[in-house]
Structure 1
Amino acid sequence: MAQRFRLDDLMQMAREEGRIVAEDAAARLGVTVQTIRRDLLKLAETGRLTRVHGGAVLPSGTANIGYDDRRGLLSAEKAAIAAACAAAIPDNAAIFMNIGTTTEAVARALLGHKNILVVTNNMNVANILVANPDCEIVVAGGQLRRTDGGLVGALANRIVEQFKFDFAVIGCSAIDADGDLLDFDIMEVGVSQTALTRTRKTLLVADHSKFARSAPARIASLADIDSFFTDAPLAPALSAKCRTWKTDVVVAGAGEAGKPGDGAASN
């Protein structure tokens, strides 16, 4: 079967079933798994699908990719981003961390930090940091979102309002070309926005795939961020804006961890 026909069949599977499992698609189309992976990569490069562990899903617009699938996306890149972010946070710091798989990676990178306080509305972050005996953990109670362990709503906001943080570590679901940080759940956005008003320094952690996605709710702008930790250089126009905004862009893996890479804007 020619690739153009396979691509049409794969898109039909995605529309009908919500996601494509590479091994299943290979069996159904009578080709190897490697062939399907190449096809999925081509569809992802053109924006028609989003790669996830084991296959692909339709790109998100008003609904997010499933949490388990997000955990499998770009795990090595997220670990590098997390290491660079954690390197910028000293011991003896008060930190807020919001919901997301990249903030979970930052939590793992903080396991060696001493005498830190972490306030989070992310049950997964709290569970990770339990392994650090030198970390005091405050969970911002609220409405539990079972899909990802997030705690959202007015109660979570009120708890976050009681603190003044040294650092707020924020993840997002998408970054618009104009630098706006976007997410899907307005209640989750509200907690993050509250944290931004209660911190001395804001650290954004987001991989390059966030630039290819969209979401309906605005958290803030890159203009409101002190340091942005990512895994690839920004587009020239947005990089120039970050320089104007004095937003420091740190490209993890581009040279020594924690140092700005190509396209970085430094204070």
Structure 2
Amino acid sequence: MMNGAARRREIRDLLRVGPIAVAELSERYNVSESTIRRDLARLSESGEIVRTYGGALSSNTAEEQPLREREQLAGAEKAAIARTAEPHAAECRLVLLDAGTTVGALAGRLAARGGLTVATTGLTSINILAGVPGIELIVLGGTVRQLSLGMVGPLAESAVSRLTADAAFLGADGVVAGRGICEARPEQTALKQLMIDRSREVCVLADSGKLGRANSHWWATFDRRWTLITDASATEEQLRPFHADPLCTVEVAAP
């Protein structure tokens, strides 16, 4: 049997790939869940991991990335997702755009459409759409989060609660089949939940690195049909739970 030090080193390396539950680690190493919790406690004390409800994740992935860093990641994938998402706005009169770089890529495509009202909390989309002919831009004001350059809080929530949209296009830190969208802060998920509730159609734009990722503690959930639009790098293993979710329709963007 692997000794404790070797097991902890391996657990630390596994967590760099993504969060793992205590039960999964217990089964993997054929030790009790109490033993795994002690391992995680020691790794947490050293700052190598962060404990979560029922498991842990690497401290290197625990923090939300600033938007300026995310703009440099998966550019081709985000462009493909935006291209696949655009037809969902074809028959819309008013759409809601979340903050974030993937939704911002969609804003770039909508700028050429005209005849559309766009309500958004994202400064990326605002900068793209401001002054574009044929686009009526509604800025859903609130408190600007420096990391995402998106607006949150009671002012933004009040604005969203006063409208209905034909479609909402949402980003996410992570998306889990049967569970929903996770974000770093509760005010983010509160606003996303309102967007879900106030829209006829909901599309989640998430590159493959977000699928199954549950490294944040706050969730917006789905109680009706929604569409996941992801990129061609998504594996069958990643997509299987979403295909099995009766509320979810999966669209994979061609590269």
Using the size of structure 2 for normalisation, the TM-score is: 0.71
Please show how residues 1-267 of structure 1 align to structure 2 within 5 Å.
Answer: 47=17, 59-61=60-62, 63-130=63-130, 132-176=132-176, 178-211=178-211, 213=213, 214-221=215-222, 224-232=224-232, 233=234, 235-236=236-237, 239=240, 241-253=242-254
Q: Is the 8 A contact 1:192 1:219 kept in 2?
A: yes
Report the Cα offset of residue 178 of structure 1.
5.0
Report the Cα offset of residue 68 of structure 1.
1.3
Partner SS state of residue 211, structure 2: helix
Report the Cα offset of residue 81 of structure 1.
0.1
Q: What is the identity, as a one-letter code, of the residue corresponding to 1:172?
A: A
Report the Cα offset of residue 220 of structure 1.
1.7
The whole-number CA distance in structure 2 between the counterparts of 1:240 and 1:123 is 33
CA-atom RMSD in angstroms:
2.6
Q: Is the 8 A contact 2:224 2:247 kept in 1?
A: no
Residues 65-103 of structure 1, C-alpha deviations (whole Å, 9 max, x = no match):
122111111010000000110122115521001111111
Using the size of structure 1 for normalisation, the TM-score is: 0.68
Partner SS state of residue 156, structure 1: helix
Q: Which has the larger displacement, 154-163 or 205-214?
A: 205-214
Change (3 A) 1:97 1:225: farther
The whole-number CA distance in structure 2 between the counterparts of 1:238 and 1:71 is 24
Residues 159-192 of structure 1, C-alpha deviations (whole Å, 9 max, x = no match):
0011110000011001236553211121111111
The whole-number CA distance in structure 1 between the counterparts of 2:15 and 2:254 is 22
Change (3 A) 1:174 1:59: farther
Report the Cα offset of residue 60 of structure 1.
2.0
Partner SS state of residue 147, structure 2: coil
Q: What is the identity, as a one-letter code, of the residue corresponding to 2:219?
A: R
Aligned pair count reads: 202
Report the Cα offset of residue 234 of structure 1.
5.3
Report the Cα offset of residue 244 of structure 1.
4.4
Q: What is the identity, as a one-letter code, of the residue corresponding to 1:216?
A: H
Question: Please, which runs of 5 or more residues in structure 2 have no aligned partner?
Answer: 1-12, 19-57
Q: What is the identity, as a one-letter code, of the residue corresponding to 1:88?
A: H
Partner SS state of residue 245, structure 1: coil
